[in-house]
Amino acid sequence: MARLPLNDLAGFAAVARTRSFTAAAAELGVSPSALSHAMRGLEERLGLRLLARSTRSVAPTEAGAALLGRLAPALAEIGAGLEDLAAFRDEPEGIVRLTTFHWIASTFLARRLPAFLAAHPGITVQVTVDDRLQDVVADGFDAGLRFGEDVEKDMIAVRVGPPLRHLVVATPGYWDRHGRPAHPRDLRGHACVCYHNLSSGSISPWEFERDGRELRQRVEGPLVCNSAGLALALVRNGGCVSLHMEEDVAADLASGILEAVLEDWTPPFDGIFLYHPSRRQMPPALRALVDFLKR
């Protein structure tokens, strides 16, 4: 069999993993049409159909899935070997692929990444923002950023932020009209913003804790979303109650625009952790990012 170009194999693995020529092409820095042409050439050389294509989707065939199973760990090992070479340079270089969700991306990373990238011009950080929990290993990421309680136990987790806290907030006028709840169960009579959990497709209950006792309270209201900014806009308008990160509403609380309730039921919880799979040696670019975020 003729020797197959490594770039074509890496391209196939990206398409099979993302199930999208567009996403794979963006990841590889090529055009979707060029990638599609390369995949057809690869299939012709192998004499096998590796990808099942339709007008809306692409997926590996049985042969493609078998090839991907062998390729993925081999390509990961090759990538790790190339990344390890960065240790011989004065400054770390390479690509760090991160997965996280919207709140961390728009707050924590938005504040910290600009300074990191300015200090490390040889490093590129690729951030995929998705509220669903993604598999770091299977989806080809180097690391993820989540709250500590969401990190899988088999991951190496490094705390990169202080403890955080949720608060139940509404305008003082709303509380005056509808009453201030003394217990989480009292929220059942209020118009609450509900969070749509994309991972499960369900409405997430609000979580509370006091004296070691945990309570999950289901709420109802006129808005179901997964946007903290949209929820906060509705709450500031005086029509709803919502659960927000304390730092997102600190200015509103200080100015009196919003008022928090049930504070004895919302203690601090584990903050943000960067997590990655166990490896013999952490790539220098990822090590540089971890060390920076820890500061």
Q: What is the pLDDT of residues 75-128, one digit of tens each?
A: 878 877 776 665 555 678 889 999 999 999 999 999 999 999 999 999 999 999
User: Is the predicted pLDDT of residue 192 greater than 80, yes or no?
Assistant: yes
Q: Which ranges of the chain would DSSP assign to H, the alpha helix?
A: 6-18, 21-28, 32-46, 62-84, 102-104, 110-119, 172-178, 228-236, 246-255, 284-294
Candidates 3.30.2320.80, 1.20.120.1770, 3.40.190.10, 3.90.550.10; correct CATH number of 166-265? Answer: 3.40.190.10
Distance CA 132, CA 201 (A): 10
- Band (pLDDT 50/70/90 cuts) for residue 150 is confident
pLDDT of residue 89: 58
pLDDT of residue 2: 54
pLDDT digits (tens, 9 = 90+) for 32-73: 889 999 999 999 989 999 999 887 789 999 999 999 998 888
pLDDT of residue 177: 96
pLDDT digits (tens, 9 = 90+) for 197-210: 766 667 889 999 99
pTM (2 d.p.) = 0.66
89-162+271-294: CATH homologous superfamily?
Periplasmic binding protein-like II (3.40.190.10)
Common-topology check for domains 6-75 and 89-162+271-294: no
Amino acid present at 110: A
CB 89 within 8 A of CB 95: no
Distance CA 161, CA 176 (A): 36
- Sheet with strand 143-147: strands edge to edge: 123-129, 94-100, 143-147, 272-276, 156-159
Q: What are 121's two structure tokens?
A: 């011009």
User: How far is residue 261 from each of residues 32, 58, 112, 166, 171, measured CA to CA in Å?
Assistant: 52, 49, 31, 11, 11
The CATH code that applies to domain 6-75 is: 1.10.10.10
**Mean pLDDT confidence for 230-259:** 96
Q: What are 171's two structure tokens?
A: 């305008």
Mean predicted lDDT score pLDDT of the chain: 89
Using CA atoms of 20, 21, 25, 26 in order, give the dihedral in degrees to the nearest 10: -40
- DSSP state, 168? E
pLDDT of residue 111: 93
Amino acid present at 42: L
Domain ranges of the chain: 6-75, 89-162+271-294, 166-265
User: Is the predicted pLDDT of residue 160 greater than 90, yes or no?
Assistant: yes
